């Protein structure tokens, strides 16, 4: 549901990187998340319980608060691509346009039309809610289509979160 791997402390086999094609430029702000999602499709991923790295935070890093919107947009795009592949839809990929992220909205709506597996719903819902929260510039048509498709799959808590974000941002959902 979220990137829980600290990139500098990761270890993996080089042949796995070659097998999946390494990083993909289209996810320039969430390359590592996309990488872990694709690796998870061919093998197991695990975290050690002990801390192995000290992680320094600074204002110019990709995960700085000023980059939250961009980072969310790219990570949601990576997750949507992952779930499309997982559902057998390997021909379709998200196009990421920061100014008008309509394609991500369309692909999320498509995921819901494909009736996602119960195991995947929590993650898909979380990403869809995050996407709607940070993307006020989605076209009305795409926003309404996504909302219409996802409503049937949301839990009560997820519906409340969505409502809270709309009230907070004064957007109509």
pLDDT digits (tens, 9 = 90+) for 14-60: 899 899 999 888 887 788 888 888 999 998 888 888 877 776 666 66
Q: Is the per-residue pLDDT at 100 higher than 60?
A: yes
Q: Is residue 131 part of a domain?
A: yes
Question: What are the DSSP E strand ranges found in the chain?
Answer: none
| Residue 87, domain extent | 66-173
Q: What is the mean pLDDT of residues 83-111?
A: 89
Q: What's the burial of 112, exposed, middle or buried (CB within 10 Å: 0-12/13-18/19+)? A: buried
Report the C-alpha gap between 6 and 141 in whole angstroms. 37
Q: Is residue 155 part of a domain?
A: yes
| Count of the separate structural domains present in the chain | 1
pLDDT tens digits for 135-150?
888 899 999 999 999 9
Q: Is residue 170 part of a domain?
A: yes
According to the model, what pLDDT value does residue 89 have? 83
Q: Is residue 53 part of a domain?
A: no
* Beta carbons within 10 angstroms of residue 48's beta carbon: 8
Who's near 91: CB < 8 A, 6+ residues apart?
none
Q: Is the per-residue pLDDT at 171 higher than 60?
A: no
Q: Is residue 1 part of a domain?
A: no
Report the C-alpha gap between 68 and 35 in whole angstroms. 19
Percent of the chain with pLDDT over 70: 87
Report the C-alpha gap between 100 and 98 in whole angstroms. 6
pLDDT tens digits for 156-166?
999 898 888 76
Q: Is residue 106 part of a domain?
A: yes
Greatest mean pLDDT range, 16-25, 54-63, 86-95, 105-114: 105-114
Q: Is residue 6 part of a domain?
A: no
Q: Is residue 5 part of a domain?
A: no
According to the model, what pLDDT value does residue 61 have? 65
CB 95 within 8 A of CB 84: no
């Amino acid at each position: 549901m979220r990137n829980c791997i600290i990139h500098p402390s990761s270890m993996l086999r080089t042949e796995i990187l070659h097998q999946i094609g390494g990083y993909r430029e289209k996810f320039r702000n969430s390359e590592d998340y996309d990488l872990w999602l694709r690796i998870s499709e061919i093998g197991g991923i695990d975290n050690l319980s002990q801390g192995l790295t000290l992680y320094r935070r600074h204002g110019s890093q990709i995960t700085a608060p000023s980059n939250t919107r961009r980072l969310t947009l790219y990570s949601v795009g990576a997750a949507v691509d992952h779930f499309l592949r997982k559902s057998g839809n390997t021909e379709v990929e998200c196009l990421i346009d920061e100014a008008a992220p309509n394609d991500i909205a369309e692909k999320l709506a498509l995921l819901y039309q494909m009736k996602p597996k119960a195991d995947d719903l929590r993650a898909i819902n979380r990403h869809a809610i995050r996407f709607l929260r940070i993307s006020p510039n989605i076209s009305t048509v795409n926003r309404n289509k996504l909302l219409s498709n996802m409503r049937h799959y949301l839990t009560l808590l997820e519906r409340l979160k969505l409502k809270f974000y709309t009230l907070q941002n004064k957007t109509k959902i």
